[in-house]
Amino acid sequence: MAANPKLPITSGAAQGQYHMYRAEAYILRGEIEHPIKQPIQEYGRVVLEQTRRESLITQSVGETNIEGLISFRGGHTRVAGTHLQQKVDIFGQDHSGWVTLSTAAIEGYNVEDIITADRVVAQICTQHPATNGNVPQVSFIGTRFDNLRVGGYPVELELDLGIFGQKPANDCHYFQDVDFLDRVKRRLDDFVDHDDLPESIEKKYGAQIVYINDLKKRAKEEAVGVIPNGEGGYPTMTFTVVKKIKPIPLPGVRTFSNHIFIENFGTVTLGEVEVGVKKEHSPLLLRKSADSQTEASGSNYFTLDMLKMRLGCPASGTANGPTANANGSNGPAI
């Protein structure tokens, strides 16, 4: 692990604000349930835990073999938080503010010689601007699957790394941004329209569509607050950066939305994104107004899981990763 604890604290006093960085990344975690019972530790886990200090923490993990069932050649994780006091790009756009980066990468990944990949990267960058900075601009640039294969056959898929689009106007939350909600709903509609969608997946996405429709209605009515949809009454939403997966020409292998079902192996979920508000963070208070920013930051979080596996046979258990999480919040200068 590498860290730089001597980097300065940047309060943003000129803007009357400070920023609290939060980020987490890990290469792999889960649990083997059969034929033996063994937890899979959080390999390479690094964390920025509610700090105002500019930081960079990295970790590398070497060749690893877990009971001959799951192995990888190596991997690395990285979390970083930095304050850009002045940054203007070549087009004259101002990017000053607070940036958080979370990265997790795994190389030479092999699960039971059925799922293999040369490299898989989960990467999230959030930028909270110096003004109207409660809600960040979100980027997935760097996220990718390199040579992902099932039983030796390539998995041909298309990613939409720009699904968040531009930061919502007037510092509204993404849950209040109709354009963002429309993009996510179209993605889920395409999945639900699949002719042979399993009932469990249809139920999951159907509930998300109902929730998004309720959010859109409230956003158009400029209602204060958002509808809770998570534990403890906090809003949460799940979707994917995967637009489509081409059929894989192997007997017993079927694709549904961002899921791959493999007979006598299990189910693989690709590129899943969760957006929400953490329990321990401040409540999400929102106001839509042409002349006022959001009343409270809500400290929204963004999590990207690139490979979530539910193994069924002959080994059973879970294996998730690489995974990146980034979020943060602004507050008044003390």
The rounded Cα 216 to chain-centroid distance in angstroms is 22
Report angle CA 190, 301, 182 to the nearest 5 degrees: 30
Supply the pLDDT for residue 278.
66
Q: How far apart are CA 54 and CA 3, in angstroms?
A: 11
Radius of gyration of the chain, Cα coordinates, nearest whole angstrom: 20
pLDDT per residue rounded down to tens, the chain (334 residues): 555 544 444 444 444 677 889 999 999 999 999 999 999 999 999 999 878 889 999 999 999 999 999 999 999 999 999 998 877 777 767 778 999 999 999 999 999 999 999 999 999 999 998 887 788 999 999 999 999 999 999 999 999 999 999 998 888 888 889 999 999 999 899 888 777 788 888 888 899 999 999 999 888 887 666 677 765 667 889 999 999 999 999 999 999 889 999 999 999 999 999 998 765 544 444 434 444 443 444 567 899 999 999 999 888 999 999 999 998 777 665 4
CA distances from 18 to 22, 124, 275, 281, 328 (A): 13, 21, 23, 16, 11
Taken in order 171, 78, 113, 319, the sign of the CA dihedral is: negative
Element (H, E) at 140: none
Determine the Cα–Cα distance for residues 128 and 135; give it in Å rounded to an integer: 6
CA triplet 255, 108, 42: central angle to 5 degrees?
A: 85
Report the candidate in 173, 253, 181, 260 with the shortest Cα–Cα distance to residue 215: 181
Domain count, the chain: 1
The whole domain housing 260 covers 2-332
Q: Any idea what DSSP says for residue 169?
A: G
Q: What is the pLDDT of residue 287?
A: 39
* b (16+ CB within 10 A) / e for 200-220: ebeeebeebeebbeebbebbe
Determine how many CB atoms are found less than 10 A away from the CB of residue 245.
Answer: 20
DSSP character string of 246-283:
----STTEEEETTEEEETTTEEEEEEEEEEEE-TTSPP
- Residue-level pLDDT at 224: 60
In order of 2, 23, 123, the CA distances from 100 in angstroms are 17, 7, 11
